[in-house]
Amino acid sequence: KGSNFIPMDAFVNRATPEVARRLLNSAIRGNQNMIRIWGGGLYQPDWFYDICDELGLMVWQEFMFAVALYPRNTDFLTNVRHEVTDVARRLGHHPSIVLWSGNNENQDMAYKNDTTVVDYSVLYDQAVRSTMWEEDTTRPYWPSSPSNGVLVDDSEMGLFI
């Protein structure tokens, strides 16, 4: 069982290790063992993941893409690859990270038409997922939250939605 973890405060400087520890302990007291870092929020500070490691709380880490269509031009995709690399290298040593996820609620938007399906695949399969696998082959990658996983993949077309 688990919960979504959104930013602790609208003002980031008010999010402290003490606040995080209180919230995470509350989840544990509620018999939860996983926290999903919501892709519509922000990457948490290093101390957050240190606390999760210490408490034995598993983390489902989403990349920060949520409920939107994103460009697929070269500059943007290069920036995305750098972001994925930076996040994987910064967080990858934490045993609490048990799953990487490409985005929050973008997969459903891909079904609107053929162009958006291709856009989705270029961004999340060719940029996010392939870069993630270059950085971390020890953890699973889930395409989106929510997702039907392989039930919507088409390997013949090279689309992994």
The residues annotated with a catalytic role in the active site are: 105
Tokens for 55, please give them.
């408490």
Can you tell me which residue has the tokens 């392989």?
A: 150
Element (H, E) at 114: helix 114-120
Q: Which of 51, 57, 54 is nearest to 99 (CA)?
A: 57
Rg, C-alpha atoms of the chain = 16
